[in-house]
Structure 1
Amino acid sequence: MKKVYMENLGCSKNQVDAETLIKLLEDDQFTHTTEVAEADLIMVNTCGFIESAREQSIESFFSLHEANPQAKIILSGCMAQRYAKELQDELGEASAIFGNRDLSKIHEVVRQVFAGDRVIELPSYPDLANEVYERNELLSFPGSAYLKISEGCNHWCSYCAIPLIRGGLRSKLKETILIEARTLIERGIKEINLIAQDLAAYGTDGPDKSSKFMDLLEALVALDGDFSIRLLYIYPDAFPPTLAKFIAEHKKVLPYFDIPFQHADQKVLQSMGRTGTKESYLSLIESIRNTVPEAVIRSTILLGYPTEDDKAFAEVLDFLSKAKLDWVGSFTYSREEGTKAYSLRGEREHKKANKLAQGYQAQLQALQGPITNANLARFVGKEYEVLIEELVEGEDLAIGRMYGQAPEVDGLTVVLGRSLKPGQKVLCGIRAVNGLDLEAVPVGGALNG
């Protein structure tokens, strides 16, 4: 039986694709290995969102090819989808270039590759009714999983290449999502992380153009089982007006809000294609906290956008000082060909502006760090469920997350205790803040084994 090694790069949506590809290849008589040296097939599931991600994808490709030059190697994912023609000419080492739309076509691609052919395959999306994929091995830590409810995006923010890569918004069928959710619950998943480019846009690609997200969320909450739902990524400009109240009334949905404000200066926001303002965003934050007092709010800020200057950045700092968000991530603008913002400045000016943006990033972190630290202090002395993710070898310690910590992007909870198991929830008392992490001890044992 042949073995496949999967290198997954990029976002959580890419991770779901990688998990799907592994299952499809297992159906084709492959076994998944975590050792590249023993693989017959290497798959590099790439990210193509920004320049640094593409550089990492190419570096990973050559590193893996060098580690096992005898294996067939397929470049898949977002970078393959967008730059197939260029990669076909420049990446002769690739056995195949495979896009990210109809993943079921991997069967035929692999068969051709092992028959000696070099394949360039960018299939279109399948009919929604046929897009029902299974996943066996999950690449998340035990106890949690991502559930993708849509592909692509119709927002067309001026800096973003996602619609160029993934296409326009394509909401999955509600019943397909519910089937996937039931499967995850039945296999013991405690935390389902809903993902999309914008969760609230779900259904707006339908005939009446209205969001169906709240209907979907209501159906998910009604499912039987001991699980929680975390919502990752909801645009502020179309934030569902009933969402905060719904979360306050339904404990299965964690009071965690991931809202990418991106900026606070009016001119920058308008150029980005955003319709909100600093004032409307502050009002949204206040409304959420009034409705859900225990709310944890995360956001991302884009720095170095072409129309940003010192005055515009000062608006960001003022916004953050007033918003007092729990978590803030930032990234610098990447000049992406084909986007509306691409022509706003040339490459030489972009490189100069990027250095300035890195300085902005340092200032942002210096401001936000103490805010996050102070916000974390409110958890000390209280009890929360912690999802245990991994054990610290040789010590009576485990690493986990409470409701205010999303996977991969936020701080963690360090739990001091014995007989803890990854994938279980444990009621813990928070006793200290350590940097961006919490320290805790079990108070009631495992709630969910």
Structure 2
Amino acid sequence: MKNVYMENLGCAKNQVDAETLIKLLEDDDFVLTEQVEQADLILVNTCGFIESAREESINSFFSLHEANSKAKIVLTGCMAQRYADQLEKELGEASAIFGNRDLSKIHEVVRQVFSGERVISVPSYPPRETEVYERDLLLSFPGSAYLKISEGCNHWCSYCAIPLIRGELRSKPKQTILAEARDLISRGIREINLIAQDLAAYGTDDSDRTSKFMELLADLTALPGDFFIRLLYIHPDAFPASLPSFIATHPKVLPYFDIPFQHADTTVLRSMGRTGTKESHLALIEQIRSAVPDAVLRSTILLGYPGEDEAAFAQVLDFLKKARLDWVGSFLYSREEGTKAYALRNDRDHRKAHKVAAAFQEELEALQAPITGNNLQRFVGKEYDILIEELVEGEDLAIGRMYAQAPEVDGLTVVVGRNLKAGQMVRCGIKRVNGLDLEAIPVAGAMHG
């Protein structure tokens, strides 16, 4: 038996891949260790979405290699998938470069590595009926898990490298998704976070090109058990019109809407390859809030895209003032080779624009923070179920989340109370807003589950 150390970077979809890789290696008698110094094998599950993520991946690789230079070290994930040829030449320290489309190939990659070979393996996707999805260990906090319903994307937004990395849309068979959900529920998972590049695109890669997402959601909510579903990432141009009313009548689906609008200026949106407008975005938000009064809305904004100027950014600020979104994340445009937007400006102009966009980002955050803080006030004085994530050592405190807070990206709820356990659901009264977090105490006599 050998020890394996996993360094997982990037998004939740990458995390699911890491969990699958761990399961596959455990089937080969590897034991997961949290101490890199004890590892015989190190896996660095990289992100390749934007330049800063790739830099983090490379820095992590060298840091881990320095911490344990005797271990075999495998670079896998999105960066390995997209840049295998380049990494083969420039990263001689890597025992293997392994893509992320057929995770089952990790068996033979590792066998070759331990027999002394250096391996470059970027396999294609396997047939859907043979693809592996099994996971034992979950890298989420207790009580919560991600469930990936598709790979890749067919939107081909002009700035986005995801189709180059993950390929075109590849929906997972519905029965496989339902089986995974049943397994998670049987293991006591209370929060199932559905993830994909665009949830609503599920099934549009079938011959009839129509979305099967609402059918899938209906089947998931019909499963027995004490759980709830959180929906993460729905493209605004493909938003299902029936989704708000469905959520309003199906309490197992949290009234949480994660819609990456990305911008509000029509010219910029068209160049991005998106069909929406500021007005259509605001109309969608109003539709959601009318159907679901307790809806929480999150979005992301991309700043620094070619063609964005002061006037275009002013449209973003006006949109945010009117939308009053609960949570807004922002990121700076990364010039990705192979995307449609790459040729829209040269590298020198990109560096200049990046500095301007960084200033825009500060202005956006200064505008949005008080909106978020004010929106959180509506929860004060009310009771909600809080999923406890972790205990604060030496204190009668725990960190958790309510329905308005998605894992990792939103604020948290600090629960003041004793005898709390990670992974349990606790009914709490919200006492105050502290910055962008909430403070709560358990309701007297509340059932802990």
TM-score range, shorter chain: over 0.9
Deviation at 1:444, TM superposition (A): 4.5
SS of residue matched to 1:253: coil
**Map of 1:195 onto structure 2:** 195
1:167 is matched with 167
**Distance in 1, Cα, partners of 2:448 & 2:192:** 15
In the alignment, the residues of structure 2 paired with residue 85 and residue 402 of structure 1 have an alpha-carbon distance, to the nearest angstrom, of 44
Q: CA deviation at 1:76?
A: 0.1
Shift of 1:80: 0.1
Q: Residues 15-54 of structure 1: matches in 2 within 5 Å?
A: 15-54=15-54
Q: Is the 8 A contact 1:424 1:446 kept in 2?
A: no
Distance of 1:111 and 1:105 partners within structure 2: 10
Tell me the alpha carbon deviations over residues 127-186 of structure 1, each in whole angstroms, 9 at most, x when there is no partner.
111124210110000000000000000000000000000000000000000010000000
Is 1:248–2:248 an aligned residue pair? yes
Partner of 1:236: 236
Alignment partners' CA distance in 1, 2:446 and 2:33: 31
| Cα deviation 1:71-100 (Å, max 9, x = unaligned) | 000000000000000000000000000000
| The 10-residue stretch of structure 1 (402-411 or 435-444) with the greater mean CA deviation from structure 2 | 435-444
Are 2:267 and 1:270 equivalent residues in the alignment?
no
Using the TM superposition, give the Cα deviation of residue 448 of structure 1 relative to its aligned residue in structure 2, in angstroms: 4.6
Cα distance in 2 for residues equivalent to 1:400 and 1:364? 27
Cross-structure match for 2:151:
151
Letter in 1 for 2:282: L
Q: TM-score, normalised by structure 2?
A: 0.99
Once residues 186 and 59 of structure 2 are traced to their aligned partners in structure 1, the CA distance between those partners, rounded to angstroms, is 38
**Residues 345-360 of structure 1 aligned to structure 2 (within 5 Å):** 345-360=345-360
Q: Partner amino acid for 2:100?
A: N
Rounded to whole Å, the distance in 1 between the matches of 2:369 and 2:74 is: 41
Aligned-pair identity in percent equals 77
User: Is 1:442–2:442 an aligned residue pair?
Assistant: yes
Residue aligning to 2:324: 324
1:35-434 matches, cutoff 5 A? 35-434=35-434
Alignment check: 8 A CA contact 2:426 2:448 kept: yes
**Residue aligned with 1:299, SS:** strand
**Aligned-residue offset at 1:261:** 0.2
For residues 445 and 154 of structure 1, the distance between their equivalents in structure 2, rounded to whole angstroms, comes to 50
Task: Name the SS for the 1:306 alignment partner.
Answer: coil
Q: Encode CA deviations 1:34-78: one digit per residue, 9 max, x unaligned.
A: 110000000000000000000000000000000000000000000
Letter in 2 for 1:244: P
Paired amino acid for 1:213 = F
Give 1:152's aligned amino acid.
G
Q: Distance in 2 between matches of 1:214 and 1:234?
A: 12
Alignment: residue pair count? 449
Cα displacement string for residues 425-447 of structure 1 (whole angstroms, at most 9, x for unaligned residues): 00000000000000000005564
The verdict on how the C-alpha distance between 1:175 and 1:447 changes in structure 2, with shifts beyond 3 A counting, is farther
* SS class of match (2:264): coil
Contact 2:427–2:448 (CA under 8 A) maintained in structure 1: no
Structure 2 distance, partners of 1:417, 1:444, is 11
Distance 2:111 2:446 in 1: 47
Structure 1 consecutive aligned stretches of length 4 or more whose deviation exceeds 2 Å: 444-449
* Equivalent residue letter for 1:241: A
Instruction: State the 1:372 CA deviation.
Output: 0.2
Contact residue 425 and residue 446 of structure 1 kept, 8 A = no
Measure, in 2, the Cα distance between the counterparts of 1:78 and 1:111. 22
Tell whether the 8 Å contact from 2:10 to 2:47 is kept in structure 1 after alignment.
Answer: yes
Residue ranges of structure 2 left out of the alignment (5+ in a row): none
The amino acid across from 1:267 in the alignment is: T
Partner amino acid, structure 2, of 1:238: A
Q: Which amino acid aligns with 2:395?
A: E
Q: Secondary structure at the match of 1:254?
A: coil
The separation in 1 between residues aligned to 2:301 and 2:204, in whole angstroms, is 25
List per-residue Cα deviations over 1:209-246 (Å, max 9, x = no partner).
Answer: 00000000000000000000000000011100000000
Q: Distance in 1 between matches of 2:386 and 2:131?
A: 34
What is the TM-score normalised by the length of structure 1?
Answer: 0.99
Q: Check conservation: 2:103, 2:132, Cα contact below 8 A.
A: no
Question: Following the alignment from structure 1 to structure 2, what is the Cα–Cα distance between the partners of residues 133 and 164?
Answer: 22
